[in-house]
Amino acid sequence: MLPRRVVISGLGMITPIGNNKQDFWDHLLHGHSGVTTIDRFDASAFVTRIAAQVKDFDPQDYISRTEARRMDLFVQYACAAARIAVEDARLSIDQTERSKTGVWVGSGIGGLETFEKQHASLLKKGAAGINPFFVPMYIANMAAGQISIMLGAQGPSGCTITACASGTNSIGEAFHLIQNGKAEVMVAGGTEASITPMGIGGFCAMKAMSTRNMEPQKACRPFDLDRDGFVMGEGAGMVILEEMSHALKRGATIYAELVGYGASSDAHHMVQPDSTGHGAAMAFKMALDDAGIDPWEVDYINAHGTGTTLNDITETNAIKEVFATHSNHLLVTSTKPSTGHMLGAAGAVELIAATLVLDKDIVPPTINLDTPDPACDLDYVPGQARKKSINIAISDSLGFGGHNAVLIIRKFAE
Amino acid sequence: MSVFEDVRKIIIEIKDLPEESITLESRFEEDLEADSLDVVEMLMSLEELYDIQIPEEATEGMKTVREVVEYISALLGQDA
């Protein structure tokens, strides 16, 4: 028996370049960057003092004040993006739909700001200083938990944590739940809010982030010879996944069909990818097999493209292994110079970007690619957006721990 | 400000209720829809505000705003 078909019928995002579909797409298309000097806290003592922060976010636009004050920022972002996605899908989750609707939302870290504040309170006041809401605000699954409460969704819910691949893996797991008949609708994605002293400080200590503090908008430079690390972003991305006939029956607007999911492990190193790209290539191949698609059919890849030397070379090698001579015909872009690296939210927001590319047949550019690294020799669409008919698109994510995850979407046709 | 006014302000902050809905007679669970974690949070805010320690056993069984106000007032040596 063929698995049930799954479509994408709603998109929601809270990002450093916009908190709605139109702003997000316009900024991507015109190559704008959301990276600025950090103003969330005093970052003057850190070697990296820039990040892509979410702007103009008021949680009360989406959730009540009393609910919001018991949510860490990563949960607020997730609830907001879920609310936007549900509205975009014109989905009503009534009594009959509740038990068929689930939520799967990843986060790389969880409530880091909550942890830091509560730890400071412990040091200052002792054990009595710990707030009773510390644990429920901190745990990484609470984004999925709170969204299910907010929407009244009683289907399967959970959270896949695979560092920077969390969003992609979570959408993949949600895809399987619908394919296998465990749910009709899934709110799926990723969320992150780690622009905090420990978040920035931790990645500074690893020397993984750009220190181009004087030129924030030029700091994230995937595939460029002058790159010097990634730039942290934050926010959330949510998609509404729906069983095909369920979507057709209610006259939903279908953006794309989700056709393949692949996941693999490098089994190599805690934080360094296997630079041969072989581990990542396995996830691409698994997703292609899952979709029943030949490599030459793929038009576009929204790459992980972090702007670290290791990532960019690994990913390029993986694409070449999988797509062979077709590699040169693919358009491969990174949206991270615009959004920053949204960690656990990255894969979800990038699948949304890929979905919009497919929907509009325009590929936004990879910005800041001025001096191509000779080791990265694919068509990364530097400079300007390009019009091209896109039938099949891929979004891939590579996470610390060697987690590789790949999703494939196709233009929808019954 | 009286202790009652302080308690009321903290409950408003936690539960987002209109001021007039909170009286000395209000019961946490039934009238204010405050669960046990809400009450713990309220007591922690009061500890901070008055720089006092409220032992856990003292607050067990407190069901109304009046009981909390009277307990704190006694601790501070004030009239409720």
Q: Please say whether the structural domain A259-410 has been given the CATH code 3.40.50.300.
A: no
Q: Sheet holding A403-410: strands in order across?
A: A157-158, A101-106, A185-192, A235-243, A6-14, A256-265, A403-410, A392-399, A300-302, A331-333
Q: What's phi and psi for A102, nearest 5 deg?
A: -120, 175
A194: tokens are: 């780690």
pLDDT, tens digit (0-9, with 9 covering 90-100), for B3-39: 999 999 999 999 989 999 999 999 999 999 998 889 9
Query: How is B4-66 classified by DSSP, letter by letter?
Result: HHHHHHHHHHHH---GGG--TT-BTTTTT---HHHHHHHHHHHHHHHT----HHHHTT--BHH
Q: Do A131 and B41 touch (CB under 8 A)?
A: yes
pLDDT at A168 over 90: yes
pLDDT band at A292 (very low <50, low <70, confident <90, very high): very high
CATH code of the domain covering residue B11: 1.10.1200.10
- Residue B15 has its nearest CB partner, among A66, A131, A133, at A66
Number of domains chain B contains: 1
- The answer to whether the CB of A105 falls within 8 A of the CB of A238 is yes
Ranges of H-type helices in A107-216: 112-125, 134-138, 142-151, 166-179, 197-205
pLDDT, tens digit (0-9, with 9 covering 90-100), for A103-139: 999 999 999 999 999 999 999 989 988 999 999 999 9
Q: What distance, in Å, lies between the first and last C-alpha atoms of chain B?
A: 11
One of A27, A246, A341, A403 is an active-site residue; which one? A341
Q: Within the 26-85 window of chain A, which residues sit less than 8 Å (CB to CB) from chain B?
A: 64-66, 69
Instruction: Report the residue count for chain B.
Output: 80
One of A159, A164, A204, A220 is an active-site residue; which one? A164
Over residues A17-46, the mean pLDDT reads: 98
pLDDT, tens digit (0-9, with 9 covering 90-100), for A238-272: 999 999 999 999 999 999 999 999 999 999 999 99
What is the pairing mode between strands A300-302 and A331-333? parallel
Indicate if A259-410 has the same CATH topology as A6-249.
yes
Q: Is B6 an annotated catalytic residue?
A: no
- Position B55 scores a pLDDT of 85
pLDDT at B79 over 70: no
pLDDT at A338 over 90: yes
Q: Do A133 and B53 touch (CB under 8 A)?
A: no
pLDDT at A24 over 90: yes
Q: Please say whether the structural domain A6-249 has been given the CATH code 3.40.47.10.
A: yes
Locate the domains of chain A by residue range: 6-249, 259-410
Q: Which domain holds residue B53?
A: 3-76
- Position B57 scores a pLDDT of 82
Find chain B residues with C-beta within 8 A of A133's C-beta.
Answer: 37, 41
Q: Do A133 and B15 touch (CB under 8 A)?
A: no
Find chain B residues with C-beta within 8 A of A128's C-beta.
Answer: 44, 47, 53
A310: tokens are: 């290791």
pLDDT band at A363 (very low <50, low <70, confident <90, very high): very high
- Position B80 scores a pLDDT of 57
E strands in A168-309? 185-192, 235-243, 256-265, 300-302
Chain B nearest CA to A66, separation (Å): 6
- Position A295 scores a pLDDT of 98
Q: Do A131 and B15 touch (CB under 8 A)?
A: no
pLDDT band at B61 (very low <50, low <70, confident <90, very high): confident
ipTM of the complex: 0.75
pLDDT at A1 over 80: no
Q: Do A131 and B44 touch (CB under 8 A)?
A: yes
